[in-house]
Structures are given as structure tokens and as C-alpha cells.
Amino acid sequence: MNSSSYSEKTIEQAKLFATRLSKRARHLRRYPTRRGITCYRLYERDIPEIPLVVDRYEDNLHITEYERPHDREPAEHSDWLDLMAKTAGETLDIPLENVYLKKRERQRGTKQHEKVADTDSRIEVQEGGLKFLVNLADYVDTGLFLDHRVTRQMVRDVAAGKNFLNLFCYTGSFSVYAAAGGAAKTTSVDLSKRYIEWSKVNMRRNGFDGPEHQYFAIDAVQFIHEHKPDELYDLVVFDPPTFSNSKSTQNDWDVQTCAVPFLNQLLSIVSPGGVIYFSNNFRGFKFDPAEVPATSIHEISNQTVPEEYRNRRIHRCWRIVK
């Protein structure tokens, strides 16, 4: 479609988008060499009329549209999205076939982690000298949460000799970092067999394939209830979804109502002085540390949100010491 098919307003927005992307790319151009980072956030709804998030995964762009009222008809809006994706690719010198466009809607019912395609295509990216497989085509979530890059490094820095537990482990990136930091043992837990298999692949790609690395495709609550009382964990990552339901478990997960009771149960399998990194992405989350009988609880979100993120509340994170 040629540019004459677009409205003046759309063409102007494309120009604004290109200008903003160019500025951000210049600002972050030293990221890969200075920090060993090849996956990072470039644009985050900086212009209100262009409610997109653009993440760079090496030589690929992952663009997510967030719901926002507009006056475009469905066909016109589809053309608008195509133009924005084309503009991003051209501005950043990324081939259009490496530009992936998604739409993120508010999670309702069973919609979380819903498929948008079925290519099962994965590419390898690097972060902190480690290798991870991501799927940019099939799901809104790619397999590597870029907003926890700093938190992963925190885990790596303190993992040496520790017995590490990764709850709601998703694709196991925290486990990879813990193993890279010298953890004596890692345990990865997720209800999804698909994510557990993905975790194993990520671990093996980095050379962590021994019996000291264990995996459980089980509900995290059930894992704690069935846990052997004689094994305690020194370091835990608890990064649950905001909401989740599954045919595999009778109970829905809602982070606001479930997180504190879960934390209190979790403490029973943490060694004295052990550390829990607790994080979630629910913007309205209310947490009263007095409800959790720990030695210390400190919110460290200002430290864990990467510097390129415009949204400083992309997640909230606490460091909890038993």
C-alpha cells in the first residue's frame, strides 16, 4: 500500500514514531558492547497516540500493541499497525520478516498466554553471556522477560553454593542464571509441561545438564505441600503471574489474594537467613510486610527495573530474608 492511501494524521504519526525510535536507538547504541546486552526495550508508549511497545531481540523487533481508544475503522487500524511495523523496521534497519507484531489485551478469563500464531519457531539470543531460546511469533510473551534482566543478575551474584528454587519458573531463565552463578542445586517448578521442557532446553544450552538440576511440572502450591521437610532452600525466586487458571488445578491463581498466604507457606521450606526474591506485575498490588513473618522485607523495585524502561512500575520486587 502506498503512502497516499494513509490519512495525513497517520503519516504524521509514522514520522513521529520514526523520529522517536531513531533517538532511542542512538541513546542505547552502546548497550550491546558496554553491557553485553542484545535484548532490550526501545520504545514504550512514549507517544500516547502510538500505544506500542518495541523490544529489540538482537536482529529482531517484537512490537506489542496495547489497547487504547481510537477513531479508526478495523481495516484502517490494521493498515495503521502495518505502517507502524514497517516504519519501525525501516528506521532500525531490520528486515520486515524479522518484525513481529502482537496485540496485548487485558487478561480476562482464560486469555493469559494465549497463542497468536502456531509456528513453533524459536531463535537463540544472548544475555549476560548466557543463551536463551525465544519465540517471537507465537505468544505475546516471548520466553524471556526483559524487565527482569537486572533481577536475574542479582540472583547470579549470590547463587554460589546455594540450593536454589525457581517457582512459576516459566522458561527457566532465573535457573540458568543461578546455575551460572555456581548454585549447588537448582529446582524449577511450573504447572506447564511445555515451560518445564523449555526450561530444560535453556539449561542444557548453557551446559547445565546434571542431576543437581531438577524440574517439576506441578502446581507451585502443591509442590510446597508435598515437599520433603528435610530439604531447605537458600535462595528462591517467586515471580507469579497476576492471574492464572488451568484445567490441571482446581484453584485459580490471583496474585493479590494468593501471594501472601503462599509466601507464608514458602517460608517453611527456606533455610534460616535464606533469601526470597518476590516479584509480580500487577500495578495495583497491595502488600503489607507485617503479614509475612520474615526477618526483613525490603522493596527493591527501583534497583531491579532496567534503566531503559520508561514504565518504572513494569514490575515490583521485594527481597525477603527469613
Interatomic CA distance for residues 248 and 82, integer angstroms: 38
The amino acid at residue 28 is L
- The b-or-e profile of 234-266 (16+ CB within 10 A means b, else e) is bbbbbbbbbbbeeeeeeeebebeebbbebbeeb
Q: For residue 57, is pLDDT > 70? A: yes
* Residue 275 burial (10 A CB sphere; 0-12, 13-18, 19+): buried
| Number of Cβ within a 10 Å radius of residue 232 | 16
User: Is the confidence at residue 107, as pLDDT, over 80?
Assistant: no
Q: Which three cell numbers stand for residue 312?
A: 518504572
Residue 260 pLDDT exceeds 80: yes
All cell numbers assigned to 106: 487485558
CA distance 218 to 233: 18
Q: Identify the band that residue 104 occupies on the pLDDT scale cut at 50, 70 and 90.
A: low
Strands (E), the chain: 39-44, 52-57, 60-66, 99-104, 123-127, 130-134, 163-167, 185-189, 213-216, 233-238, 243-244, 253-254, 270-280, 296-299, 316-321
Residue 200 to residue 213: CA distance in whole angstroms: 9
Q: When comparing pLDDT for 114 and 157, which is higher?
A: 157
Percent of the chain with pLDDT over 90: 78
Residue 70 has pLDDT above 50, yes or no: yes
CB-based burial of residue 202 (10 Å sphere; 0-12 exposed, 13-18 middle, 19+ buried)? Answer: buried
Judged against a pLDDT cut of 90, whether residue 111 lies above it is answered with no
Q: What mean pLDDT, rounded, does the chain reach?
A: 91
Please determine, for residue 45, whether its predicted confidence score (pLDDT) is greater than 60. yes
Give the distance, in angstroms, between the CA of residue 143 and the centroid of all CA atoms in the same chain: 7
